[in-house]
Structure 1
């Protein structure tokens, strides 16, 4: 019985070590998540801010380019001072060129924004996959510990049951032996009475 209690203690101690390992893994994951979150706010925010700054500079460059073209068109129109239909046609051609420039600028800004969104989406997917893998690792470790605990408990209870059966058989045989001795004593004592 002492052996089983001792084995049970060892098993409990071993299980406590496993539970502490799982707790340690959970704490490491929380720490990684905290670092990742602070890293994201410290790293992805600057990345996001860099992307926004890049788009802002691109937009400002386009606006300056369009503004320069407008000023150039106004100068040319003042220099030419062509009136009538020719002047109107010249004005419309130049205005059309500026509209084409504006459309091209907006197209480039749109492409840049789309590219930035794709990049951020890939980063978020990688982070999600990483978190999923870490969660699966913790789950696997937890499941292993539970299975080992179940097997250890099952083994300990089987041994206890086996010992209880052996003790019951031994006590039963001793009981039969004692009953035979009592009957023998009665037989021996009854002729004497």
Structure 2
């Protein structure tokens, strides 16, 4: 699901090692548009799920270098690197575990339970199958092989917004603590240096 076409999949295989080497994971890649002007859209994130403007710029530079060298895309194109966003697509099996308990829309490549499209609450993953508590159907949990899923996206709800805000607050708090620890270490180093000079 990270790539939709064979060309997308080939680009994912080319760029995955590049992204990982600079500390990021490609969530989704799409090469869109006609032959004259195409757009390479890449959604990515750090292993902790965060992705800010500086991260996007860093990954964009790394990807541009390999694209210039390998030249896998014919014609002109524009590279866009972004975060997956709050109502993000779910493209990897681990995504369905990470976001269990949240509302999602899923589309399959075949008919199951009489339809291809489903909406409900993610119920996690069991033996490579994605569980879904169907909307409006109490005590009804269905499981689909991950390979059947062609599209999945979180639904923007109050619960999702609250979770996103809590995660951002936690990251900001952690970064603040790290900064304070760094300042403390620097202060101790200064003291040690002063003592050495006095000796």
Q: TM-score, normalised by structure 2?
A: 0.28
* Structure whose CA Rg is larger: 1
Between 1 and 2, higher relative CO (CA 8 Å, sep ≥ 6) is seen in 1
TM-score, normalising length from structure 1?
Answer: 0.29
Higher share of residues assigned helix: 1
